[in-house]
Amino acid sequence: MKILIAEDDAVSRRILEAYLRKWGHDVVVAKDGAEAWNQFQREDAPRLAVLDWMMPELDGLQVCSKVRAREHAPFTYILLLTAKGETDDIVTALDAGADDYLTKPYNAMELRSRIGAGERIVRLHEQLETANAALKRLAQTDFLTQVYNRSAIVHRLEEELSRSARSKAPLAVYLLDVDHFKQINDNFGHAAGDQALIEVARRLKEQCRNYDVTGRYGGEEFVVIVPGPTRQEVEAIGERIRMAISRTQISADDLELGVTVSVGGIWIGAGAMASVDVVLKRADELLYEAKRSGRNRVIAAGWDDPSDFLAETAHSGSGI
């Protein structure tokens, strides 16, 4: 395990480093509290630290307090070393955020045991973090299509709208619906319908950049969020999405299905304030206008101001 040691006394620091390397650990060395704090702010910061209490710049207690004050940071196990051994000192150290406490001069085998205990606790935290991340992904993922589910895509849209307004960057939102999906289920069975949805989602993800977002809004409806396009690009992006679905047939068991989508696309201008409900309502209106116009087409609108949708356009494919 990678361990950070912070000790201002050169001799003590070299002895501690030698012990830890002998016991098979990777060691990151800091000569004072400020260097230790800088190490904690790195993306690859050690998850276990041995800190001397008395150090220049920042002492061990100050480093502990700063580490514990971080939000959303991985758990770090801190063992504090000091010549202070009174009960009040121990309470002060633990209250500052230390997980364990060892008085100087320390016994090497006791140090090794305490390091081992800290390592076990860090490993347990890592396992818990991995499990929590997996649970979060499951909670956000549509079981069938493996894209964001309804609640997650709505939440992401809320985040992107907020970011767009804050950073004055444009945003495009597309709501699309698989054409004649009920007929697929009725004529070929629900298994074929499921395969069609899975492939639609896969093709949508294939079209997306790393920072675009795709989610299943419900049934055969999907949402695609595209940050940053110009007003002139919004329709072309929607057309690219439409063509990605319709250009080749979708295989479902022994069947080859011709699947198309109707798309409603809305462009939100830089700095325009918009709510999730209003954006999705307007995208839904544009989607159903595409349906009424013959399906397998994109209808897009620009929105520079929440009260005024501008330059509505329609683009047709081979309507069915």
User: Which residues are marked as active site?
Assistant: 220
Environment class of residue 24 by beta-carbon count within 10 Å: exposed (0-12), middle (13-18) or buried (19+)? exposed
Give 154's contacts (C-beta < 8 A, 6+ positions apart): 276, 280
Residue in 76, 91, 80, 69 with CA at minimum distance from that of residue 121 = 76
Q: How far apart are CA 259 and CA 78, in angstroms?
A: 58
Beta bridge partners of 178: 261
Residue in 243, 208, 240 with CA at minimum distance from that of residue 224 = 208
CB 255 within 8 A of CB 192: yes
CB 115 within 8 A of CB 101: no
Instruction: Give the other-Cβ count within 10 Å of 291's Cβ.
Output: 16
CB 255 within 8 A of CB 276: no
Q: How far apart are CA 8 and CA 162, in angstroms?
A: 46
Please name the helix (run of DSSP H) or strand (run of DSSP E) that holds residue 243, with its range, or none: helix 234-246
Beta strands in 198-291 (DSSP E): 213-218, 221-227, 250-252, 255-257, 261-268
Q: How far apart are CA 47 and CA 126, in angstroms?
A: 9
Q: Which two tokens stand for residue 8?
A: 């201002």
Give 207's contacts (C-beta < 8 A, 6+ positions apart): 224, 240, 241, 244
